[in-house]
Amino acid sequence: MEQVPKDTREWFADWANEYDTTLGKVKRHLALLDQVVNLSGVRDKDQVLDIGCGTGLLSLKFLEHADCTITAIDSSGTMLRIFQKKIEQCHLSESIFLEERSAEEMVFPSYQFDIIASTVALHHVKEKGPVIQRVYDSLREGGRFVLGDMDLDTTGSLDDPVRLVRILEFLTKEFALAMEDGGIPAFERMYDNGKKHILNEGEYCIGFDQWAILCKDAGFRLITITPVKGFPWFKVLVAER
Ligand SMILES: C[S@@+](CC[C@H](N)C(=O)[O-])C[C@H]1O[C@@H](n2cnc3c(N)ncnc32)[C@H](O)[C@@H]1O
C-alpha cells in the first residue's frame, strides 16, 4: 500500500507546534471530538485505538469520559512528541501508548480493540479500502469504529470547475470559522490547506455515503451517520462489527 507522502509528513511537522492554538481552538473541531467520544459509548476498561492521533486532542477527550486504555498511532513523529509531553505532564503513561506508524502500516491482532476512532486523519489515506478492512479485523465482535471527518467529496477530475466550486463552497465555511475562533494564524493554515484539498495533494476527502460503502464492504453490519451538532458539513460515522 502507498506510504504517507513526504509532503504530508513535512506539512504536519511544520504545523505541530501551532496545532493546538489553531485547529485546537476552532469550536467546530472541539464539537467534532466531543461527538465522536459521546457516540463511541466508551466505558471503563475499554481498549481504544486512535488513528492519526496528532497532538492527542481526541485521545485525551476519551480519557475525560472513561478509564480506558488508548493506543494512539500517527505518521508524524513531531506531532507525537508534543502528545508525549502532555502524557508525561498529566501522568498518563499507564493509560496511553504511542506508536509512530501510518494507518496504511498498522497491523494489530484480530479482535484487539473495543473502539477504533479517528478524527480528520483518515481522509489523508489514498487507498482507504484496505485500511478500513484492517480496522474491522482489529475490532472485537460488537466493537465500534467511530469516524469524524468532513463530508466532502473531492473525487473526480482536478480540472472540473463544478468540483472546484463544490470544494470552495465547503472550504469557505471552514475559513470563516478558523478566522472567528483562531484568528489569522488559524485562517492561514486552513487557507494553505485548502489548495491541497482542491489538488488532492495528500488530502483525499470523500463523502460519508462513500465511507459507509467502504465500511459495508469490509463487513460492518450497523452503520449510522450523524451530522455534527451546529456544524452539519462535518459528520460522525459509527460502524459496529
Ligand atoms: C488534522 S490532524 C488530526 C489530529 C487529531 N486526530 C485531531 O483530531 O486533532 C491529522 C493527523 O493525521 C496524521 N496522518 C496523516 N496521514 C496519516 C496516515 N496515513 N496515517 C496515520 N496518521 C496520519 C497527521 O500526521 C496528523 O497528526
Question: Nearest C-alpha to atom 4 of ligand 1 is from which residue?
Answer: 54
pLDDT at 145 over 80: yes
Local structure of residue 5 (DSSP, 8 states): P
Task: Kindly give, in sequence order, each residue whose CB lies less than 8 Å from that of residue 65, ignoring residues fewer than 6 positions away.
Answer: 37, 38, 42
90, 59 contact by CB (below 8 A): no
Mean pLDDT of 45-69: 98
Ligand 1 center–CA 163 separation, angstroms: 25
Domains, the chain, ranges and CATH?
Answer: 6-240 (3.40.50.150)
Asked whether the predicted pLDDT for residue 79 surpasses 70, the reply is: yes
Helix (H) or strand (E) holding 228: strand 222-228
Q: Are strands 139-150 and 231-240 parallel, antiparallel or unpaired?
A: antiparallel
Q: What local confidence, expressed as pLDDT, does residue 7 receive?
A: 84
Exposure pattern of 61-84 as b/e (b: 16+ CB <10 Å)? bbbebbebbbbbbbbbebbbebbb
| Residues 143, 131: Cα–Cα separation, whole Å | 16
Distance from residue 120's CA to the centre of ligand 1 (Å): 7
In the sheet that 113-119 helps form, which strands lie side by side, from edge to edge? 96-100, 69-74, 47-51, 113-119, 139-150, 231-240, 222-228
3-state secondary structure string, 35-86?
HHHHHHCCCCCCEEEEECCCCCHHHHHHHHHCCCEEEEEECCHHHHHHHHHH
Q: Do 209 and 202 meet the contact criterion of CB atoms below 8 Å apart? A: no
Output the pLDDT for position 2: 54
219-237: per-residue pLDDT in tens? 998 999 999 999 999 999 9
Query: Using a 6 Å CB cutoff, which residues line ligand 1?
Result: 4, 8, 12, 52-54, 57-58, 74-76, 79, 102-104, 119-121, 124-125
> pLDDT above 70 covers what percent of the chain?
98
pLDDT of residue 1: 52
Q: Give the pLDDT confidence score for residue 3 in this predicted structure.
A: 66
Cα separation, 78 vs 13, whole angstroms: 5
Write the residue with the smallest CA distance to atom 8 of ligand 1. 119
